[in-house]
Amino acid sequence: MLRTRRSPGRAVAPPSADGPPAIHADGVRKTYPGGVEAVRGLDLTVGQGEMFGFLGPNGCGKTTTIAMMCTLARPTAGRIAIAGHDTRTAPGLVRRHIGLVFQESTLDHDLTADENLRFHADLYALPRAAVPARVDAVLGLVGLGDRRHHYVRTFSGGMRRRLEIARGLMHGPRVLFLDEPTLGLDPQARADLWRHLGEVRRAESTTLFVTTHYLDEAEQCDRIAIIDHGRIVARGTPAELKSVIGTDRIDLRTGDDPAAARGLRDRFGLTSTVGDHGVTVRAADGARLVPRLCAGLDVPVFSVTVTRPTLDDVFLHHTGHRIRPADPASTTTPGGPA
């Protein structure tokens, strides 16, 4: 549990968009005993109010990076600043400005939602007079206003994750770190959680720093950094990252696939592959090209599918392998190699 103190009588205020970046990391390295390099020279800047995705597989350095940003681990080298405060020299100030949702639940299931949030408010020395209204506000943001006095043990997995997000927001942090926030949730609960995260961002102007294995979730971020083997190998908006791939995939089923492949080569200068499920070719702006292909081939075309580049294609392009969903049984809490 992160502990910090706030001077008595200081009200919780929403974060400001002015001032230094929400997160700035320069040359950050983390080496564990035995010479295990979890993070190898990380440079990163995240602006206030951004939704930033940190994408990578298990063991790539995501969790270790969050641990260092949250002052739960010290960098071996380099510097990290949160809202302008150095994690090494001013850890107390950093903790005032951050919230953290771990991979593993840390709620007390024998307390109500209200009691969990009040306990967190006490740890951060929030003014008592401000706490009831703040509890109402954060529960409303995550859609749990009607469950304020219900015991957490009666909550579904998705509701518990939303309550943890509410708890992380209680003290008005500049940055909320979410480490695999939807891990183990069903698709509907994942969608609900992301909808509430959008509400949080709009209402609180909070920077959301999200690690995830789920590529559909990463698509919702303003910018993404792909980390592999402790290094950032690509960064940018989802559209920018996918533009590196440059081509769409076009799958055709025809009356004569080998003849279609020859026609694609001879008439359009395109190299294609023929498989059990038809002909596959890559080309820029596939949707615009399809009518020309259908009109220019001398064989009947039964179906055409155009697939735009995905973040999985981007990950494969930069790392040589595809990202895989996390295994809930193999998650790692901040503080150890991950």
User: Domain check: are 231 and 260 in the same one?
Assistant: no
Six-digit token pair at 81? Answer: 């600043």
Residues forming beta bridges with residue 249, ordered by sequence position: 282, 307
For residue 55, is it within any domain? yes
Report pLDDT for 323.
65
Kindly state the average pLDDT of the residues 299-321.
82
**Position 1 pLDDT exceeds 50:** no
Distances (CA, A) of 95 to 36, 90, 186, 318: 27, 9, 32, 34
Higher pLDDT, 295 or 312: 295
What is the amino acid identity at position 103?
Answer: Q
For residue 335, is it within any domain? no
Six-digit token pair at 136? Answer: 């109402």
| Dihedrals phi, psi of 333, to nearest 5 degrees | -80, 155
The DSSP code sequence of 226-237 is EEETTEEEEEE-
User: Domain check: are 174 and 278 in the same one?
Assistant: no
pLDDT digits (tens, 9 = 90+) for 52-91: 999 887 788 888 999 999 999 999 999 999 999 999 999 9
User: Domain check: are 49 and 160 in the same one?
Assistant: yes
d(CA 10, CA 125) in angstroms, rounded, equals: 9
**Position 293 pLDDT exceeds 80:** yes
d(CA 326, CA 158) in angstroms, rounded, equals: 17
User: Domain check: are 257 and 212 in the same one?
Assistant: no
Supply the angle between the helices 131-141 and 157-169 in degrees, to the nearest 10.
Answer: 140
Of all residues in the chain, the percent with pLDDT exceeding 70 is 89
pLDDT digits (tens, 9 = 90+) for 128-140: 999 999 999 999 9
Listed range (67-81, 151-165, 167-181, 322-336) with the worst mean pLDDT: 322-336
Report pLDDT for 124.
92
What CATH number does residue 271 fall under? 3.30.70
Name 19's Cβ contacts closer than 8 Å, sequence gap at least 6.
Answer: 48, 83, 84
User: Domain check: are 302 and 285 in the same one?
Assistant: yes
Looking at the structure of the chain, the number of domains it has is 2
User: Domain check: are 131 and 110 in the same one?
Assistant: yes
User: Domain check: are 82 and 114 in the same one?
Assistant: yes
User: Domain check: are 163 and 259 in the same one?
Assistant: no
User: Domain check: are 109 and 131 in the same one?
Assistant: yes
User: Domain check: are 222 and 114 in the same one?
Assistant: yes
For residue 236, is it within any domain? yes
Domain that holds residue 170: 23-241+325-330
**Position 190 pLDDT exceeds 90:** no
pLDDT digits (tens, 9 = 90+) for 16-44: 445 789 999 999 999 999 989 999 999 99
